[in-house]
Amino acid sequence: MGTTQLESVPEPKYWHLKTVLTEALDSEFSVGEILPNERDLAARFGVARATLRQALEQLELEGRLQRRRGVGTTVAPPRVGVAVGAERHQWPGAAGDAWQPVDCASAAPPAAVADLLETDRDEQVHTVRRSRMTHGQPVAAELLYIPDSSVPDLSGIDSPSGAARARAVLRELQHLGLEGQDQSVELGSASAEDAKELDRLPGAPVLVVTTRYYAGGRTAAVSVATYRADTCRLTFGASGHVEIHHDPERRAS
């Protein structure tokens, strides 16, 4: 077996520092520990403050560090695996659903969602807001868009508003035959509303999961879920095996 190395590329200074810092985090610091201040860190590694800041930003993007208001920079716990891809297709609100309904309103959805639903852009649809917790922490916020045509018998139901109405809409949805669903994941930034719910600053990077539910040969509902990118790893288990774990503590020995 050869020992050829993959082609090497010169790396910028902050990148080398990032590697060194990663090793220091692994060996010297424990999860939750507060890092020394920037001046001390820059002195220790013999770099300019600007270089240090670049490296810290990278490590935050990679989920190794957290900057928290009023606390400082701390060592982040390993990202939590959050199951996203469903083994079986089911409507939101079906038994075992990890999401909690929070609110329900009628509103015109964003243009991209109206296009998926094939509704007119100014047509109001049921907009259910839900939240998802993992280990007691909010990890995701969702807006679920359901046109009237997908819940035609809802008018007979007199749930006032809020979570009760959200549950009534989801209950009605279960009556529709679900034909399939597909999902996409992309990078986004947290809106002020999502940020508040996720305990982040507006504009923080998030992973946006769009799920399209099919019934009757068309898109019957669209979910746009916003996951914290700093703490979440989205898992799509398709094998019957459990989630992917990166946690070295779980390593088989």
Question: 195-224: which residues touch a second copy (CB under 8 A)?
Answer: 196, 202-203, 205, 207, 210, 212, 214
Q: Is 157 in the site for a second copy (CB under 8 A)?
A: no
- Judged by DSSP in three states, 40 sits in helix
Question: Measured between alpha carbons, how far apart are the two ends of the chain, in Å?
Answer: 25
Q: Is 63 in the site for a second copy (CB under 8 A)?
A: yes
Among 1, 96, 153, 156, binds a second copy (CB under 8 A): 1
Spatial CA neighbour of 60 closest among 30, 13, 23, 22: 22
Beta bridge partners of 83: 235
Q: Is 58 in the site for a second copy (CB under 8 A)?
A: yes
| Distance from C-alpha of 19 to C-alpha of 188, rounded to nearest angstrom | 26
Q: Is 240 in the site for a second copy (CB under 8 A)?
A: yes
CB of 22 to a second copy, least distance (A): 10
CB of 90 to a second copy, least distance (A): 12
Ordered DSSP codes for 130-157: EEEEETTEEEEEEEEEE-GGGSGGGGG-
Residue 103's CB: how many other CB atoms inside 10 A? 15
Among 130, 132, 200, 233, binds a second copy (CB under 8 A): 233
CB of 49 to a second copy, least distance (A): 17
Q: Is 183 in the site for a second copy (CB under 8 A)?
A: yes
Q: Is 74 in the site for a second copy (CB under 8 A)?
A: no
Binding region for a second copy (CB under 8 A) out of 38-46, 69-77, 123-131, 166-174: 123-131
Which value, in Å, is the radius of gyration of the alpha carbons in the chain? Answer: 22
CB of 37 to a second copy, least distance (A): 23
Which one, 43 or 148, has the nearer CB to a second copy?
148
Helix or strand run (H / E) with residue 61: helix 49-61
CB of 243 to a second copy, least distance (A): 7
| Distance from C-alpha of 217 to C-alpha of 197, rounded to nearest angstrom | 34
Place of tokens 């917790």: 133
| Distance from C-alpha of 152 to C-alpha of 118, rounded to nearest angstrom | 17
Among 24, 53, 85, 138, binds a second copy (CB under 8 A): 85
CB of 34 to a second copy, least distance (A): 23
In degrees rounded to 5, what are phi and psi of residue 217?
A: 75, 10
Among 111, 122, 158, 177, binds a second copy (CB under 8 A): 111
Please check whether residue 233 is in contact with residue 81, taking contact to mean a CB–CB distance below 8 angstroms: yes
Q: Is 86 in the site for a second copy (CB under 8 A)?
A: yes
Q: Is 122 in the site for a second copy (CB under 8 A)?
A: no
